[in-house]
Amino acid sequence: MESSLNITGTNIVTCLVDSGMNYSNIYLSSAYIGGYDFVNNDPFPLDDHGHGTRVAGVIASRHATARGIAPDSKIVAVKVLDSSATGYLSTIAAGVDWCIQNKNIYNISIISMSLGTIGGIYNPTTNPMSYEPSLVNAYNNNITIVASSGNLGSTTGISYPAVSPYVISVGAVYDANVSSLTSNGCTDSITYADKVTCFSNRASFLTMMAPGAVITSTQMQGGFGAAYGTSSAAPHVSGTIALMLQRNPNLTPQEIKARLVLTGKIITDQSTNLTYSRVDAFNATTRNSLTGYGCAISNARLCQNDLECSPDSTCHHMNGQWGICSGDIVC
């Protein structure tokens, strides 16, 4: 992406709602432009757990070889998780609200949330809507929200806020063959690139997949280390959105979601036979025609069935289980 197009996410800003970040890390310091700590109520969102620093590195690490997806993008860190990586729903809601309130100050376009309800598995009809007004407000303010699906290995539901329709939900696949991996009570004895991890929450309504095992990223104490989880998958998508917005800053959250899903690589979850779109940063950033027939999409509505397009059109399937409403295709 960098060598061929010079698209590196320059000046696109992600509001990272997490455990803060080590903004003195040499590979992240130039990415950090501000933030707030809701745990300690001060303007210094320093990471005391490590989770947020790892997520930040996936998005924007400046390291020569272990580079983030969007290495010239910027990060605003909002600390809502404490030293044990736990937090209150009200604190997380306040963090999202802060991103919205400070959108124009920092030029925030993306909210990245590698977090979710502990033990909660939901589908669209059981969505707890814990802080849904905050998510709706962000969406309506043209901020694209990305959230990890969770690591309980569910094949019928995902965590909150990932289950919200205003969020791009992201599960995890392997980036390469890592031999075997055991996590959260499940073991993948065989691994390969694009294999869905056993620990990833997923279901037919999951938006997409991204690499989440095993991912090298920045550490709280400095340097780099390996991590796995849907928390590592979500920032791959957040970084990709930064690339997309550098190339086309007029994209809406709805258009971004459609482009991500419809330009991804189709993979099959061998345990459920469900198909998913795995993020493809190059295609998402460069392809202007999503249907393969020279057609363009104007403010596309992503769909899985005709009811989601009723009454004006039907769902035109184009990439696995996802499609767009036929009325939004312009040829």
- Annotated catalytic, 51? yes
- 45 upstream amide cis, omega within 30 of 0: no
State the catalytic residue, choosing from 112, 231, 232, 238: 231
34, 38, 96, 269 from 90: Cα distances, Å: 22, 10, 10, 35
Look at the alpha carbons of 196, 201, 207, 209 in this order and tell me if their dihedral is positive or negative: negative
State the catalytic residue, choosing from 18, 37, 48, 175: 18
State the catalytic residue, choosing from 49, 51, 63, 236: 51
Cβ within 8 Å of residue 170, ≥6 positions away: 146, 147, 148, 149, 162, 206, 207, 208, 209, 210, 230, 233, 234, 236, 237, 279
Distance CA 85, CA 91 (A): 13
143, 145, 146, 241, 301 from 7: Cα distances, Å: 20, 21, 20, 11, 26
Distance CA 20, CA 53 (A): 7
Look at the alpha carbons of 132, 138, 139, 140 in this order and tell me if their dihedral is positive or negative: positive
- Annotated catalytic, 231? yes
Catalytic residues: 18, 51, 231
